Structures are given as C-alpha cells and as structure tokens.
Amino acid sequence: MRDARQTLLGARPHRRTSRLPIPTVGIGERDEVARFGRSSGRSLDPDRKVGTREMIASPPFGGKDRIRLIDLLWMFCFFWRRSTVVYRWNLHPPAETDAIRSLSEEVNVPPPIATVLLNRGIDSFEKAKAYFRPSHDLLHDPFLMDGMDRAVSRILHARERGESVLLFGDYDVDGTNGSAMVSLFLKSLGLNVLIHIPDRIQEGYGLSKSGIDRGKNFGASLLIAVDCGITAIDQVEYANRLGLDVIICDHHRPMEALPSAHAILDPLKPGCPYPFKGLCGCAVAYKLVQAICARVPDAPSPDEHLDFVALSTCADIVPLVDENRTLVKLGLDRINTNPRPGIKALINSSGLRAGKITAGQVVFVIAPRINAVGRLGDATRAVNLLTCAVDTEAAALAKILEEENRNRRKIDEETFLKAQQLVESCLDLEADSAIVLHDEQWHPGVVGIVASRLVEKYYRPTIMLTTVDGVVKGSARSVDGFDIYEALKRCEDKLIQFGGHKYAAGLAVASDRVDEFRQAFNAVVREFLPEDLRTPEIKIDAPLELREITPRFVRILNQFAPFGPKNPRPVFVSRNVEVAGSPRIVGKGHLRFKVRDGAFTIDAIGFNLGHLLDRVEPGRKDLDIVYSVEENEWTRPSDPAGDAVPRETVPQLKVKDLK
C-alpha cells in the first residue's frame, strides 16, 4: 500500500541534522558518533532542503512529467536504499536460565533485566548493589598508582617552599577541566600557579618548549602536565635543564622510553599496579588531588572537584565502567545539585535544563562548546570559564564558548561537504578499505570531527589531513573493533610522528609522502580489518516481550545510567510485533509509529529511519525491532520554562533498526 507520496517520503535522503550537536574530540579520544548517532548511509544530496510537504502540496507536474518523476524517484530510491549501511544484529549469547532466575530473585528485578546485568558481568547481589548505587568506597586507593608517593611528596615540598607551578594541559575537555581542577586545588593549598594550554595550531598537541619557557619566566620550578606528557621525552629533558621538575598525569599509551620526569602517573605505564586502566587524564590528576588530600589534614575535600572529572570522563569517551562509572555518577550529581558558576553558565547558555544533566548531554552539548575554543583559538578561554567564581562573569565567558561553537559548526559543515565530494569523486568505495584525504586548506581544528563523521557515513577507517607550516598533519578515526594506532604503527616508516589510542590518533606526514602513506595505510587496513568489522553492529542484550515494559521496568532501566562506552543503554529485540496506527515521518526524516502486542501498545521513534517507512506497513504483524526503552518527556508549550512545570513522561521505544 505504498503510494508515490509515501515512497518519496521513505526515500528522502537522511542524515544527522546539523542542529544535533556533534561530539568533538581531539587526539587520543574516542569519538562516539558512530555509537550514539546513526549511520546515514550514502545520501546523494545531504543538504537537500526540498520539503516533502512542499512537494505534496503543490505538484507542479502532470501527465508524462509525473510518470517520469516517479520513475526517477524510484530509481533514486533503489540506488540509495542499496547503498544504505546495513547493520549486523548481534544478540548477546543468553546466560544460563538458572543464573537469570536466581539473580532476578536475589536483586528483585524482572528476568530480562537480570539478563542484561549478567551480560555486563554483574552476577551477584553485591555487584548489583555497587552497580546501582555507586559510592565513594568504590574508588580505588590513589597510592596504588605507581609514582603517586613521589608526586605527592614533591608537591608538598613545593608548598612548603612556596614554589611556583606551571600547569600544562591539553586543549580538549579532558585537558582544560584537568588543568582547571589542579589549578583551583593547588591555589587552595597556597601555591602559585600558571596554566599553559598550548595553541593547537602554533604549538600542537602536548608539552612545548615555548610553554616551558613561559613557565620559567613565571618563576616556576615545578611543571605538572595534565592529559599529555607521557611521550614528551625531549620537552621534559628541556624543562629539567631549565630547572623544572616534572610530574606527568596522563592516560595515553607510553612509548618504549619514558620521559625523565620526577614522577609519572599513568595507569598504562608498564608495571603500574593501579587496578583500573580506563581513567581519563583529568581523573588521573584527580587521583593525585585525592592522594594529597589524604596527606594534608587541612585540605578541602577532593569531592568538590568531581564535576570536572565527570565532564572529562564523559567527553573523553573512556569506558563507563568500574571507577569511571562512580566518578561520573558522583560528578553528575554534583553538577545537578550544586554546579559551580562556570558549569552553571554553560548549562544555561546551551539551553540545557539545570538539574537534569546526563552523560549524553555532556558528550553532545557541553563538551563541543568547551572544545570549540581550543579548536578555533585559545583554549585558555575554557579554563577561565571553568575556574570562574562569579556568576555574572561566567555568563559572559560562556557566551564566548557559545559563539565559537557556532563558528566551529560552520567550518565543520563546510569541511564535511568538501570531504564528502572528494570521497564520492576520487575514491573507489568498493575497492578502498580506508579513506585518506588531504587538503591544505582544511582547518586543523575540525579535521578530527569531520573524520568521525566520515566514519559514520562510509564506515571505514578514515584519516583527514591538512597542512600546517609545510607539514601534513591530521587525525585518524576508526571503526568499532579496529585498532587504528596499531595500523599507523605498521606505516611508521612513512610518518614523521603519530600517537593516540585504539580508535583515534593524530599523525604527521612529510608533504611529498602523502600518496605513499595513503597506499601503505590502505594496504594495512585491507590486510588486517576482518570482514565482520566492515559493517556496523548493533549489540542486543536480550529478547523482550513488549508487554514486559511496565513503569517499574522502565524505572529500573533508568538506573543503568550514566550511559557511555562499555555501559550502553540496554538494547532489546522484539520479534513479530504488530504495527499499530499510521506510521509517519516526523522532523527531518525520523520515523514515528506505534507497535502492539496483544492489548499493549507503545510509541516508537526511529531517528533518521524515515527511509524504512515502507517496512512499517499499518497492520503488519511480523515486524522485528531492535530498540532501547527511553522516556519521552512532554512539556506543555504554554507553560513557562522552569522546574515547577508539570511534565509528563511516557515510555517509548527508540528504534535502532527494523526488519
């Protein structure tokens, strides 16, 4: 029962709307666009603004023209549909029935929830309690981190002697929050602090000699690096020569040789016995703060800095398990009950609702704003906001971030369109396993974000390169499961420099070796990217009958938050459900419909799934859907914004795919 109109609606190219904030990451961070957003398939004209309503309301063509148009649309639809990314549905192997039953009874949750818990390694009452009620006692002893003793003693020594400290942070959320936190903390101990955040374009990532010189002129005799430094062998040497001791708080992978720092805190350092390896840079610095507080009787509680740790942990896309989950939970509670002026201002200026901030909002709304200033200019502007103690000043500083984020989005959009043209015109999408693009004009601040968006769209390891001072530099982003750092390592002889993580890395190539590198990288990806990682996967926790979605079920599911990598929102599959009512397209290509199971009916929304409209035929009874359960909150439009407004929440299915 598809008429031309519905085919047209269904065939509309779709993409993530430009209004949705795009997560932004720098070197060494995992971008979660692919995880949170939808792959948009291969749209031919993504910025098509032809409103479907316009076309329906005024068909300017009749007779022959009309047939031809419909044919064209049909061909277009066929081509486009064929090239849409297809997902693998991967159902988690079911746990033992006995285990499900006993955990379900012990924790007093419905069996499907017990199944999800078991999938995540939570198999006892104690573990479930720790999971649902993360608290301070789950934080590890900071002194388990190798080098902690030396770091603490050196800082206390600096305090006694009234030394000045140079704080050297990275320009992303992790680095700026970490610097803001350590700076406020050291100042509260009475130390003199200068923060230096390197300029992304002039100085690049990590410790720089010019920054060290600045610290020397300030009179610093101690340098603390936050979220960088683990590979800065020459720079640490240089600082030592100038008479600065160095303490490194980092979480990036060390190389074989370590810098000659006074103390190195990095859970990934070989031999470091710290039990959790997934901390972000700011969290490593927080462990230092915690350790100092344990040694100084009059120190303020380290808790007041957990808001910084929560923002960094969410933004840096580290796994939200173990200690990270506790840090984020406690930090978000703080942001939601007692936010500091800078964070409050940022929440207000970005249009979020204070008191309800989630990990997802940090990733998609707050983090891009903090990152924007470092992408387009001086990231110290973010530190100034984060450390600001006065509400009115904070509001003015937050405006700057808002403005720069708008600028960043514009550049990002233009770069993406250009990159996309290059892919469509120069690349053989069948034969090329990877994408390596270079344009001298691209803004170095956005190449990482654009690489992520290309991964989302074309689903293959992607490198975006630009030219800075005659050197070709850029960012690499990977697909799920493929270690792009290792891939770059295999092309090491073609590179000047590279560094980062499994999913995101930075690199520099000599300008006359780009083609050579492109071929080498493509060959490595062709050889080492297994077939099953070439299409995106939807991980499904458990099958579910729709009628099991009771208000209590939804309440328990919400307690799985904060959600993030390694702790995603639970995903269920329901088979043979009935389509109820009349499915329709809403917004920019989103699919809205209802599904029914006996007498139970529930709303469903599929973001960017408008092209699947013809699969949800009204009355169809054998629809298979994969979804998470979320609450849709309604505010009556006539009510003024404010917390006293009565709001209704209705559970709905957020559909990820359907068959």
Residues that bind Mn ion (CB under 5 A): 174, 227, 281, 316
3-state SS record for 540-557: ECEECCHHHCCHHHHHHH
The residue among 316 and 597 lying less far from Mn ion, judged by its C-beta, is 316
CB of 315 to Mn ion, least distance (A): 9
The residue among 175 and 259 lying less far from Mn ion, judged by its C-beta, is 175
| Packed helices 341-349 and 391-426: angle between N→C axes, nearest 10 degrees | 50
Cα–Cα distance list, 630 to 555, 568, 650 (Å): 10, 13, 8
Exposed, middle or buried by CB within 10 Å (0-12, 13-18, 19+), for 61?
A: exposed
The residue among 182 and 472 lying less far from Mn ion, judged by its C-beta, is 182
The residue among 227 and 412 lying less far from Mn ion, judged by its C-beta, is 227
CA 439: distance to chain centroid? 26
CB of 171 to Mn ion, least distance (A): 11
Q: Which two tokens stand for residue 273?
A: 């016995």
Q: Which two tokens stand for residue 542?
A: 């458990």
The residue among 146 and 174 lying less far from Mn ion, judged by its C-beta, is 174
CB of 567 to Mn ion, least distance (A): 19
CB of 362 to Mn ion, least distance (A): 14
Gap between the Cα atoms of 567 and 570, Å rounded = 8
Q: Residue 448: phi, psi to the nearest 5? A: -65, -45
Q: Which of 258, 241, 233, 272 is nearest to 149 (CA)?
A: 272
CB of 28 to Mn ion, least distance (A): 5
Contacts of 78 (CB under 8 A, 6+ apart): none
CB of 207 to Mn ion, least distance (A): 14
DSSP output for 261-323? -SEEE-TTSTT---S-----HHHHHHHHHHHHHHH-TTPPPGGGGHHHHHHHHHHTT---SHH
Q: If DSSP codes are grouped into helix, strand and coil, which group holds residue 596?
A: strand
The residue among 40 and 324 lying less far from Mn ion, judged by its C-beta, is 324
Contacts of 150 (CB under 8 A, 6+ apart): 262, 263
The residue among 227 and 404 lying less far from Mn ion, judged by its C-beta, is 227
In contact, 325 and 567? CB cutoff 8 Å: yes
Contacts of 148 (CB under 8 A, 6+ apart): 142, 263, 265, 287, 288, 291
H or E element at residue 584: strand 572-586
CB of 449 to Mn ion, least distance (A): 16
The residue among 227 and 597 lying less far from Mn ion, judged by its C-beta, is 227
The residue among 147 and 169 lying less far from Mn ion, judged by its C-beta, is 169
Closest-by-Cβ residue to Mn ion is 174
CB of 506 to Mn ion, least distance (A): 12
Contacts of 638 (CB under 8 A, 6+ apart): none
Exposed, middle or buried by CB within 10 Å (0-12, 13-18, 19+), for 47?
A: exposed
CB of 342 to Mn ion, least distance (A): 19
Q: If DSSP codes are grouped into helix, strand and coil, which group holds residue 72?
A: helix
The residue among 311 and 507 lying less far from Mn ion, judged by its C-beta, is 311
Contacts of 510 (CB under 8 A, 6+ apart): 471, 472, 496
Q: Which two tokens stand for residue 395?
A: 């509001």
The residue among 28 and 112 lying less far from Mn ion, judged by its C-beta, is 28
201, amino acid identity = I
CB of 113 to Mn ion, least distance (A): 33
CB of 366 to Mn ion, least distance (A): 16
CB of 282 to Mn ion, least distance (A): 8
CB of 246 to Mn ion, least distance (A): 18
Gap between the Cα atoms of 342 and 448, Å rounded = 26
CB of 286 to Mn ion, least distance (A): 13
Q: Residue 387: phi, psi to the nearest 5? A: -95, 0
The residue among 174 and 597 lying less far from Mn ion, judged by its C-beta, is 174
CB of 172 to Mn ion, least distance (A): 6
Q: Which of 292, 224, 296 is nearest to 264 (CA)?
A: 224
CA atoms within 13 A on the CB side of 594: 11
Q: Which of 476, 483, 475, 529 is nearest to 502 (CA)?
A: 483
- 244-276 burial, b at 16+ Cβ within 10 Å, e below that, comes to bbbbbbbbbbbeeebbebbbbbbbbbeebebeb
Alpha-carbon dihedral sign for residues 444, 450, 455, 458: negative
Gap between the Cα atoms of 340 and 360, Å rounded = 20
Gap between the Cα atoms of 608 and 392, Å rounded = 39
The residue among 174 and 541 lying less far from Mn ion, judged by its C-beta, is 174
The residue among 206 and 570 lying less far from Mn ion, judged by its C-beta, is 206
The residue among 173 and 398 lying less far from Mn ion, judged by its C-beta, is 173
CB of 368 to Mn ion, least distance (A): 16
The residue among 498 and 521 lying less far from Mn ion, judged by its C-beta, is 498
